[in-house]
Chains A and B, each alone.
Chain A
Amino acid sequence: MTHETAIAIRGVSKIFGPVETGLKALDNVSVDIRRNEFFTLLGPSGCGKTTLLRMIAGFETPTNGAIELDGTDITAEPPFRRPVNTVFQSYALFPHLTVAQNIAFGLEMLGRGKDEIKATTAEMLALVRMEAMAARLPAQLSGGQQQRVALARALAPRPSVLLLDEPLSALDLKLRKQMQIELKRMQQDTGITFVFVTHDQEEALTMSDRIAVMDAGHILQIGSPRDIYERPANRFVAGFIGESNFLDGTVLAAGPPARIALGGGQELSIDTADSPAAGQPVTLAVRPEYVLLGAFDAPGSLSGRITNLIYFGTDMHCHLTLDSGEELVARIPSGLSGKEGLETGAIAGVSFAPGALRIVGA
């Protein structure tokens, strides 16, 4: 399958302050964003995702590297000459212009004809279902409505790429869920490339075609939501996307299957071909829902003491301390509560679903 590249980031670095001592917000980042995809930059605050987005928009200049849009180098182009539009985190609606005037602004600046501006504005108002609010000022709108106007304003000039800087972060949970679905629909309807920035892993998983997980100015992994969730490339990704348990051990035999020694004389075997060599330290990750509890003397299982049981509605979190001394969380259906041996202080056997244990680094 071949993909056309919309945006190519080529070895981009950004240092705020003096080059030698300044804060390195981005460190030699390269990524290709494909045409018509919903691409998400995901990471904790300060990881450089917003800096990268602002660089594509033209508000930041890279210290090193280049940015190409549809094969043309746009690194030196000012924002107003880039066919790229942004939905700002604060929406940045012009407070002195009405909803319709806000939406028409970009088209006017591009010097489009009166009729076209009128038609496109009406079309955009319909797209975000704000026809009734056309004459209102931004201050008279709710947060969700402002969000829609910001979206319509950025889409009106039909940019080749739409940049979204945590656009949903100011909305309450219910509205956010609703807007997630709407955004996805709009991306599919318009066929415009969306580059979406968020720190909310759930948001990223539900909306994206591909996700780039970022930390400390680096892109750690790029892949589909399923790739990232099921096959995290390292400990950070495994911890940041969803919940993970981590177990430290030493490789006994590289395998496959690899045999790993944990503390306290316990041992695990993993069906993997890319284990480090024997004698190397290693970190294993496993999702809480893949931790299985059974009788403490079940063959092939580790044993641990239940330290805490926390009720979460549909399921429960069972905190355990393994014999090796490591802490572990298992997520089990609430229906199992009251089952014999499932109580604080009890000893339980711990095993893992097939393929659930992954090596995520040393």
Chain B
Amino acid sequence: MASAKPAATAHRSDSGVMERRAERERTRRNWLLSAPALALLVIGASGPLIIVLVYSFMTPGDFSGVEWTPTFDAWVQIFFTRDIFDDTLGLADAHLSIFWRSVRLSLLTTAITIVFGLPTAWFIATRPGRARTFWLFLITIPFWTNLLVRTFAILEMIRNEGLLNTWLIKLGVIASPLQIMYTDTAVLIGMAYVYLPLMVLPLYAAIERFDFRLVEAGYDLYANRLQVLRRVILPIVKPGIVAGSILVFVPSLGAYVTPRVLGGGKNMMIGNFIELQFGQGRNWPLGASLSIFLLLIVMVALLYYVRASTRGSSHD
């Protein structure tokens, strides 16, 4: 009490001093509260990315690691190979085919998950109260089930002695097993399967908030079902589609487990190719430059998402 009095009289002449002090105090407290989490994230996630960046400009060591000789080789190697005999640069076809496969399979995965995910999300969002929670629960279980377990489940279905082939042969549809494993198709099936819930959940969130009176208004103004879908529903749930696409595309592009298990050694994606550089390839700088390269592509996708979603919200 005694200390409060002079402070109160002092601030009368000096406008807002106490206010500013309280504000500073709050900001300081907020930072202090967040600091331990940030410290851990910097040590265990963000900080090491800088080391990767540094390594990408170094020379490969003999067995692993790097020599501390700066060079752009690792970045050049992403796209080009140096001819052993005449030392000229040529396009690295093997690398390009890996990139192309990664992008192609990721885009296809995104498309497949939209086709299956939109009706599924719509179905869940239009269930009445308790039933909705139940269906939402059903879509969440695979989402949180171990990625490896789900990939393994697909493996069990599609391998030559797997359930799919066994049944097709039993039913007389085919005579010998279909070779699906270790093809791009296997990777595609696997990725669509494991990432489908990532598409359904944001779509569900978008549709759940959807005001169905707008659909009624659409029908009232003589639109048929297809026109209502195209002109009313899709534009409004578009932010959900964009969010879902990013959530599927980004991990697809960096996928490691699914292509490794279902695609085998031949049908590599960028993730497996990066790992190879740290294992048999013994080219840490190339692995590092590939990692940063992948990160850059992802950042571009995220930036597109941020722009698309802010533009979307300005419509509301």
Contacts and interface: CB of A to CB of B under 8 A. Distances in A.
Given A61-B18, A61-B22, A76-B18, A66 B12 contact: yes
Contact of A61 (B9, B12, B19): B19
A63 to B, nearest CB: 4
Nearest to A13: B15
* Residue of A15, A62, A77 ringed by the most chain B CB atoms within 10 A: A62
Contacts of B16: 15, 19, 63-64
A73 interface: yes
A62 B19 CA distance: 7
Interface string A57-88: 00001111110000001111100000000000
Contacts of A65: 12
Contacts of B4: 73-77
B9 A73 contact: yes
B9 to A, nearest CB: 7
A240 B235 CA distance: 45
B141 interface: no
A69 to B, nearest CB: 12
B18 A19 contact: no
* Residue of B5, B9, B16, B22 ringed by the most chain A CB atoms within 10 A: B16
B225 interface: no
B7 interface: yes
A11 B11 CA distance: 12
A63 B11 CA distance: 8
Contacts of B8: 66, 73, 75-76
Interface in A7-46: 11, 13, 15, 19
A75 B15 contact: no
Interface string B3-41: 011011101100110110010000000000000000000
A237 to B, nearest CB: 29
Contacts of A74: 4
Interface string B272-304: 000000000000000000000000000000000
B29 to A, nearest CB: 14
B17 to A, nearest CB: 9
A72 to B, nearest CB: 8
A63 B15 contact: yes
A74 B12 CA distance: 13
A243 B4 CA distance: 46
Given A61-B18, A64-B16, A76-B8, 12 more contacts: A11-B12, A15-B16, A63-B15, A63-B16, A64-B11, A64-B12, A73-B8, A73-B9, A74-B4, A75-B8, A76-B5, A76-B11
Give me the 3 closest cross-chain CB pairs, A-B, nearest first: A75-B8, A76-B4, A63-B16
14 contacts: A19-B16, A61-B19, A63-B15, A63-B16, A63-B19, A64-B11, A64-B12, A64-B15, A73-B4, A73-B8, A73-B9, A76-B4, A76-B5, A76-B8
